[in-house]
Amino acid sequence: MSDWSMTELQDWDDKICTLGEAIGLDWYPIEYEICDYKEMMGHMAYSGLPTHYRHWSYGKSFDRIQTEYNLGMSGLPYEMIINSNPSISYLMTENPMATHILTMAHCVGHSDFFKNNRMFAETGADTVISRFKSAGKRVKKYMGDPNIGIKKVERILDACHAVRFQVPRTPGIKRRNHKELKKYYQKLIINDKTGSWDKFDINKIPLEPDYNLLRFVAENSRYLEDWERDLIRIVEQESLYFVPQAFTKIMNEGWACMIHEKIINALGIPDDYFLSFIRLHNQVIRPHLGRVNPYHLGYKIFKYIEKKQGFDECLRVRKDHNDETFIKTYLDEELCKELNLFSYSFHTKEGYNKITEVSGEDSWRRVRDDLIKNVGLNSVPVVLVKELKKDGTLILKHEHDGRDLELSEANKVFEHINDLWQGGVKFTTIIEEEAWEF
């Protein structure tokens, strides 16, 4: 049925690796798992992690992927690779050789990005698989525990998932716990001669706004049991692991596309393979009308950098930047105009999406800034822990940046937090220029 054999895969892989090294890439060893489409859907549902814990939401995504696939609404991805050492990647049995070659070259790009980009420095690629395995086992244990059971576990996990992206947006910076913070501030106060710290309350919790909502709850809740705190930490750890990927979606995909193109052009592959490669490549990096295709945008910017400053600059950029700085630095007027980027928003009264800005001479900067507001976790509202009162009231605050929260959703999430904290949560935000409190 398929037009390839394992030996062929290995032969092509050897060539790909040689070419990868020749252009200066440095990646984790890759482990390819050959699986069928059904298993692929399973891997997709669990974010590729072979040892992920159980939760009904993954069953839901599996069903959705399957429905969409069966209806022909979407194909399955050619590649799926995990930020781990070695990097685990999946190749689908059903795919032809040309697709595998492209996938393998693409995976080299991703693995190189994981290993080199500074955002990923603290993700623990060496241990991630075993960490998830251990977490999966613990969740299973709690579910099977007659004193706990699946319902109680789900209650905690449902709540945690609702706020899973309320984590610090500074990957790579170590969290200081309360003790360390207290020491730090005491030092400041003792050494202070200007008197500006006189009013600082050294006994308040937290000493500075805590962006890690889950961690704060796990550390400070009065009522949670150990297994509940453990579940919260499991979700928090997973978020911290995935945040760098969210922060670099455009770069990571753009980089991998650029690399696979480079490698394949140098591979000297037969003509019929080459044609299918071109077709796939163009499909992956085509612009999506009315939306921004991260593969396309990332690829374009990297190509642009290469054209102007050479490939070595690209290598440096893939190390130092994240999507936000990448766009801010390299998406210029010329590129904005070429991609014909525009801003739009939903106009409630008219019931239409309306274009609010196009990439013109001065206005392109505004479009770029709007884009930045939607990359990484910037499209997720920031909610932080402001204060834990003596009476146990937890005060949360939404950091308003001009965009209002969707109240109905916020309300539901609030209920989850309140449930997790077991009552006594206050949440403030701004809706249409007025203060709101839940």
Number of residues engaging another protein in binding (CB under 8 A): 90
- In the complex, least distance from residue 34 CB atom to another protein, rounded to whole angstroms: 5
Binding-site member from 408, 434, 435, 437 for another protein (CB under 8 A):
408
Residue 314 in tokens:
């690209």
Residues with Cβ < 8 Å from 161, sequence gap 6 or more?
55, 57, 235
Residue span binding another protein (CB under 8 A) among the ranges 180-188, 233-241, 303-311, 371-379: 371-379
- For the chain, the maximum distance between any two Cα atoms, rounded to a whole number of angstroms, is 79
Cα–Cα distance for residue pair 226/233, rounded to 1 Å: 11
Strand 352-358 relative to strand 434-437: parallel, antiparallel, unpaired? unpaired
Query: Judged by CB under 8 A, which stretch of 50-58, 124-132, 181-189, 244-252 contacts another protein?
Result: 50-58
Give 207 or 217: the residue with its C-beta nearer to another protein: 217
Give the Cα separation of 79 and 101 in Å (integer).
Answer: 11
CB of 297 vs another protein, minimal distance in Å = 8
Sign of CA dihedral 361, 289, 47, 396: positive
Residue nearer to another protein on the CB measure, 93 or 393: 93
Any idea what DSSP says for residue 208? S
Binding status of residue 354 toward another protein by CB under 8 A: yes
For residue 406, the minimal CB distance to another protein (Å) is 4
374 lies in the binding site for another protein (CB under 8 A): yes
Looking at residues 24 to 43 of the shown chain, list those that interact with another protein (rule: CB under 8 A).
Answer: 29-35, 38-39, 41-42
Tokens of 214: 């889950």
Q: How far is the CB of 292 from another protein (least distance, A)?
A: 6
Taking alpha carbons only, the member of 244, 233, 213 closest to residue 53 is 233
Q: Which span sits near another protein by CB under 8 A: 118-126, 258-266, 370-378, 387-395?
A: 370-378
Based on CB atoms, which residue is closest to another protein, 7 or 203?
Answer: 7
The torsion angles phi and psi of 79, rounded to 5 degrees, stand at: -130, 150
Which of 58, 185 has the CB closer to another protein? 58
In a 13 Å sphere around the CA of 349, the CA atoms on its Cβ side amount to: 0
Q: Can you tell me which of 54, 169, 229, 426 binds another protein, judged by CB under 8 A? A: 54
Assess 63 for contact with another protein (CB under 8 A): yes
Instruction: Report the residue from 97, 167, 246, 367 that binds another protein according to the rule CB under 8 A.
Output: 367
Distance, in Å, from the CA atom of 259 to the CA atom of 284, rounded to the nearest integer, reads: 13
Q: Using CB under 8 A, pick the residue from 2, 186, 309, 379 that binds another protein.
A: 379
**What residues from 334 to 353 belong to the interface with another protein (CB under 8 A)?**
338-348, 350-353
Taking contact as CB under 8 A, which single stretch among the options 10-18, 221-229, 256-264, 316-324 is the one that binds another protein? 10-18
Which residues from 152-211 bind another protein, rule CB under 8 A? Answer: 158, 161-163, 165-166
Residue 196 beta carbon to another protein: minimum distance, rounded to whole angstroms: 34
Determine phi and psi for 30, rounding to 5 degrees.
-110, 135
- Residues in contact with another protein, shown as a per-residue x/- string from 242 to 261 under the rule CB under 8 A: --------------------
Site for another protein in 73-92 (CB under 8 A): 86
Find the binder of another protein among 17, 263, 285, 317 (CB under 8 A). Answer: 17
Q: Which residue's entry shows tokens 């709690």?
A: 142
Question: Could you tell me which of 154, 206, 138 has the C-alpha nearest to residue 385?
Answer: 206
User: Is residue 328 at the binding interface for another protein, with CB under 8 A as the rule?
Assistant: no
Handedness of CA 161, 166, 171, 177 (dihedral sign): negative
Q: How far apart are CA 102 and CA 273, in angstroms?
A: 10
Does residue 403 belong to the site contacting another protein (CB under 8 A)?
yes
Q: Residue 428: name the closest of 401, 389, 397, 407 by CA.
A: 397
Q: Which residues, at least 6 apart from 231, have a Cβ–Cβ distance to it below 8 Å?
A: 139, 142, 153, 156, 157, 160
* Residue 194: C-alpha distances to residues 186, 188, 199, 200 (Å): 15, 11, 12, 13
- Is 265 a binder of another protein (CB under 8 A)? no
* Nearest distance in Å: CB 295, another protein: 12
Rounded least distance, CB 119 to another protein, Å = 22
Angle between helix 323-330 and helix 249-267 axes, rounded to 10 deg: 70
Q: What is the C-alpha to C-alpha distance for residues 271 and 230, in angstroms, rounded to an integer?
A: 55
Restricting to residues 415-434, name those near another protein by CB under 8 A.
Answer: 416
Binding test (CB under 8 A) with another protein, winner from 373, 386, 397, 426: 373
